Amino acid sequence: MNLGLARTVADAVLYEGYLLYPYRASSSKNRARWQFGVLGPPGAATGGLGEEPSMAMQCLVDADPGEPATVAPPRLVLHLRFLQIQRRQVLDAEGQEVAELEADGTTWTTWDEAVDQELTFTASLEELGSGWERPGAVDGGEDVELLTAADGSAVGQVVRRRWPLSARVRASTTAYGRFVRLEVGVDNVHGEVPTTKADAVRRSFIGTHLLLEAHGVGFVSLLEPADEASDAAAACTQRRCWPVLAGSPGDTDLLLGLPIILYDYPEVAAESAGALFDATEIDEILTLRVLTMTEQEKAEARATDPRAREIIDRCDAMTPETLQLMHGALRSPHAGEPVGMPEMHWPGLGDFGEPVGVPEVHWPGLGEVGDARDVDPQVFRTGDVPWWDPEADAAVQPEVDVVVIQGVRVSKGSLVRVHPNRRADAQDIFFADQIARVTAVLSDVDGGTHVAVVLVDDPAADLHDWYGRYFYFAPDELEPLPVGVPPT
């Protein structure tokens, strides 16, 4: 059970949107915060003051995961994780609230911080079958920090206040053949209806999500379920919470229920130097933006929040080598797939000698199974010529270059059928099984090959040719069509 890896991803979700670039309290987008997983108090949503109070998810448990039976009955451990709002109020020496105060070289501002919280529950699978419910609460509190000048004289104080939160965690199971459908829900059950937006957010659970451990049973992927689980997986419904498998690839003992949709076994990129909190962040872009901030802007960000100070300091201290690592890595999604030139056996020939039917493909071998991130990309050396200059590699000629796909030479003018498999763009759904005409075969600086195409049935195909607006696919996403096949 790789609980540490799962928690790393969970922490990234917990603080996602906590603070947005440019990380200053004065920034307009940092005045309306808490984007994900907000469970408001009852009445907040209907009154237009906050978010709905509940979330729920359904997932599948394999009651027979194929592991040796244990003495202890199957059980689940549920971790409810969230942020609790903490109001940081700055007071001057007379006890009056001020927006900003300087004490011994440090600037303090009034601001809403957050404290991460976790409530843990354990229940046997049998207990859940009859319906299971538990209360969960965190206390409020108040802390006072005195602020002094360099000579020790009182300057003011920082008061941090938290409001108590109350939740109900509920779970139930339903038999679904060999599988068990598990439903887990969380409700904010605060007893008073809020009267202001500020009151609503202070009584809200922020970044709420679930981390589930399975002991003696295993979870089933809802994204790619086994055939025997596909019907049960399709019957699962979600409400503001999405379950994915977590931990190391292949593990079935951990599951994350998240307020955002991710894939199974999500992970934080190894190139990331630390959290930046910005929604769907791209580390390199945000880091470069931080480096363009003025010293005054950085000082304001540092005064906004300790986590903002950490971001600014980390970016300022970043070496060129560390920054270069953020530029990304080429990761092949096809490690361990067939390699080499396949042998093609066609069932017959057409009137003009062209192959017809669906060929049998025999590959000479398989590539080494392993993590493609450990493989260095091909080096593209261009000498003194910039890599983006067309003269960088005179040997590359997209107009006449050829790529072999399923034993067939494909070049400009070839007809292919498109089978998108990279899940890179929602538009790929509309391209599936369409016939396209190849306009060029291109190579990138990392040694990859890309095929530019236009759809045959696209009325604007000639226009795309005119201004060079093509769609690009990898060779393994294309099926060559025999010569003579009509473009329909």
pLDDT in tens, 145-202: 999 998 889 999 999 999 999 999 999 999 988 899 999 999 999 999 999 999 999 9
Domain extents in the chain: 3-325, 343-480
CATH topology of domain 343-480: SH3 type barrels. (2.30.30)
Residue 363: predicted pLDDT: 59
pLDDT tens column, 95-146:
899 988 988 888 899 999 999 999 999 999 999 988 999 999 999 999 999 9
Tokens of 210: 């679930």
Tokens of 427: 């538009």
Work out the pLDDT band at 390, boundaries 50, 70, 90.
Answer: low
Rounded CA-CA distance 398/441 in Å is 5
Residue 111: predicted pLDDT: 92
The least confident of 87-91, 246-250, 260-264, 484-488 is 484-488
pLDDT beyond 80 at 377: no
Rounded CA-CA distance 337/361 in Å is 13
pLDDT beyond 70 at 16: yes
Residue 272: predicted pLDDT: 84
SS3 176: strand
pLDDT beyond 80 at 378: no
Q: Which residue has the higher pLDDT, 85 or 379?
A: 85
pLDDT beyond 60 at 488: no
pLDDT beyond 90 at 468: no
Mean pLDDT taken over the chain: 85
Q: Which residue has the higher pLDDT, 369 or 105?
A: 105
pLDDT tens column, 277-303:
876 568 888 999 999 999 999 999 999
pLDDT beyond 80 at 369: no
Q: Which residue has the higher pLDDT, 320 or 349?
A: 320
Rounded CA-CA distance 56/60 in Å is 14
Q: Mean pLDDT across the stretch 339-350?
A: 63
Q: Mean pLDDT across the stretch 322-349?
A: 64
Work out the pLDDT band at 372, boundaries 50, 70, 90.
Answer: very low
As to burial, measured by CB atoms within 10 angstroms (0-12 exposed, 13-18 middle, 19+ buried), residue 377 is middle
Residue 218: predicted pLDDT: 94
DSSP 439-474: EEEEE-TTS-EEEEEEETT-TTHHHHHHHT--EEE-
Rounded CA-CA distance 68/140 in Å is 45
pLDDT beyond 80 at 375: no
Q: Is the peptide bond before 22 cis (omega within 30 degrees of 0)?
A: yes
Residue 365: predicted pLDDT: 59
Q: Mean pLDDT across the stretch 404-425?
A: 86
Residue 295: predicted pLDDT: 94
Tokens of 128: 């859940």
Q: String of b and e for 455-469 (b: at least 16 CB within 10 Å)? A: beeeeebeebeeeee
Work out the pLDDT band at 364, boundaries 50, 70, 90.
Answer: low
Q: Which residue has the higher pLDDT, 255 or 345?
A: 255
Residue 370: predicted pLDDT: 47
pLDDT beyond 80 at 307: yes
SS3 84: strand
Q: Which residue has the higher pLDDT, 322 or 311?
A: 311
Residue 464: predicted pLDDT: 81
Work out the pLDDT band at 342, boundaries 50, 70, 90.
Answer: low
pLDDT beyond 60 at 486: no
